[in-house]
């Protein structure tokens, strides 16, 4: 029995060493425009979901979906999220398709995660996806405004939708004067 267990342990060590060598020598193609491997397709998002389930704090959203908060959330979304996750006039940007996995277009397919998980993902990002951690850029209050906006995307008031109109974008953009 001891030699059987020793053989199993030895086989596992050889397998792990082989996997390490395979990755370390560059045989795994990490190009975002390549077909996902079997492990990525079957384990990648499941691992992200399990990690988020485990780590997202069990807290309630302190920001109510008032028009003021939804407009503020819309402005934050436009400034920090829209380039990857789309806007009403461009629900699924071509840019979002350059990521692996593809960045979800939230105006096409609204987020369906619990608010505490959306908060966690916005705060901490998702490694190797292009989703940054916003906890060094946005305050907790701003992140909760974004979460409230994401949770209310299907029923936004006209004032929040107005943020995405071209005139609203350019009017408050504060474009600096050309340097001479």
Q: d(Cα 99, Cα 35) in Å, to the nearest integer?
A: 12
Averaged pLDDT for residues 24-47: 82
Domain count, the chain: 1
Grouping H, G, I as helix, E, B as strand and the rest as coil, residue 56 is coil
Query: Contact 76/97 with Cβ under 8 angstroms?
Result: no
The yes-or-no verdict on residue 169 having pLDDT over 60 is no
Q: What percent of the chain has pLDDT over 70?
A: 93
pLDDT of amino acid 38:
84
Q: What is the pLDDT of residues 48-77, one digit of tens each?
A: 999 999 999 999 999 999 999 999 999 999
Query: Contact 70/148 with Cβ under 8 angstroms?
Result: yes
On whether residue 178 sits in a domain, the answer given is no
Query: Contact 129/82 with Cβ under 8 angstroms?
Result: no
Q: Classify each residue of 11-44 as buried b or exposed e, where b means 16 or more C-beta atoms within 10 Å of its C-beta.
A: eeeeeeeeeeeeeeeeeeeeeeeeeeeeebeeeb
The yes-or-no verdict on residue 163 having pLDDT over 80 is yes
On whether residue 9 sits in a domain, the answer given is no
Query: Contact 157/70 with Cβ under 8 angstroms?
Result: yes
Q: Which domain holds residue 155?
A: 38-57+64-169
On whether residue 177 sits in a domain, the answer given is no
CATH of the domain at 156: 1.10.760.10
Q: Is the full-model pTM beyond 0.85?
A: no
Contacts of 106 (CB under 8 A, 6+ apart): 81, 85, 86, 150, 153
On whether residue 179 sits in a domain, the answer given is no
On whether residue 74 sits in a domain, the answer given is yes
On whether residue 22 sits in a domain, the answer given is no
pLDDT of amino acid 176:
52
pLDDT of amino acid 106:
95
């Amino acid at each position: 029995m001891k030699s059987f267990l020793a053989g199993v342990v030895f086989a596992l060590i050889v397998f792990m060493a082989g996997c390490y060598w395979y990755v370390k020598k560059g045989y795994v193609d990490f190009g975002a425009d390549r077909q996902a491997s079997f492990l990525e397709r079957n384990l990648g998002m499941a691992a992200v979901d399990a990690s988020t389930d485990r780590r997202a704090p069990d807290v309630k959203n302190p920001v109510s979906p008032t028009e003021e908060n939804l407009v503020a959330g819309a402005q934050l979304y436009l400034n920090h999220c829209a380039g990857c996750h789309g806007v009403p006039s461009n629900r699924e940007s071509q840019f979002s398709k350059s990521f692996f996995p593809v960045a979800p277009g939230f105006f096409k397919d609204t987020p369906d995660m619990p608010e505490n998980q959306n908060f966690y993902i916005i705060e901490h990002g998702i490694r190797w996806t292009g989703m940054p951690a916003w906890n060094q850029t946005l305050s907790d209050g701003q992140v909760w405004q974004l979460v409230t906006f994401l949770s209310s995307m299907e029923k936004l008031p006209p004032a929040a939708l107005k943020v995405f109109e071209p005139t609203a974008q350019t009017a408050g953009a504060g474009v600096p004067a050309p340097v001479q």
